[in-house]
Amino acid sequence: MEEIKIEATEKSPRVYFDPENRKFELEGNSRPENVREFFYPIIDKLREYFEDIINNGVEDNQNNPVKFVFQLEYFNSSSAKFISDILILIGNYHKKGMPVKIYWYFDEGDEDMMEVGEDFSEMIDIPFQMIMVSQ
């Protein structure tokens, strides 16, 4: 499977997905012009990949979780829905046996971003590794 590499802009986040190394990263600001066009292909690709993992990767899976890094500075309400879609998808495949590790970054003092991470974690019932970035 091909990787995804989307550079960050002032309005849209950096997206990096490396299937071979089982790593997905979403970083920066998110209020893309057309939020659906931005997130749908990413969500489709992840779904396809998770399906492969479940079907083919059982032996590799035990000690090799898929890593997700969310290091968002800011996201708007429309993006929130799609970020939540990604997390729900991760949650669903985790239930089917896909091992995952989710890292949620927030700036020191940004209680809101920390809380959103905690809420998302609760929502999909997977503990997040919460990482505070000092200013």
Stretch that binds another protein, among 12-20, 28-36, 50-58, 90-98 (CB under 8 A): 28-36
Asked if residue 18 binds another protein (CB under 8 A), the reply is no
| Contacts of range 54-58, beta carbons closer than 8 Å, 24 or more positions apart | 54/93, 54/96, 54/97, 54/98, 58/97
CA distance 106 to 85: 20
Q: Which pair of structure tokens corresponds to residue 55?
A: 């079907």
Closest CB to another protein among residues 4, 80: 80
Binding mask 39-58 vs another protein (x if CB under 8 A, - otherwise)? ----x---------------
- Indicate which single residue of 81, 92, 127, 131 sits in contact with another protein (rule: CB under 8 A): 81
- Indicate which single residue of 41, 115, 127, 131 sits in contact with another protein (rule: CB under 8 A): 115
- Indicate which single residue of 7, 21, 58, 109 sits in contact with another protein (rule: CB under 8 A): 109
CA distance 54 to 43: 16
CA distance 73 to 30: 8
Asked if residue 92 binds another protein (CB under 8 A), the reply is no
Query: Which residues, 6 or more positions from 96, have their beta carbon under 8 angstroms from its beta carbon?
Result: 54
Residues that bind another protein (CB under 8 A): 10-11, 31, 33-36, 43, 74, 76-78, 80-82, 84-85, 88, 107-113, 115, 119, 123, 135
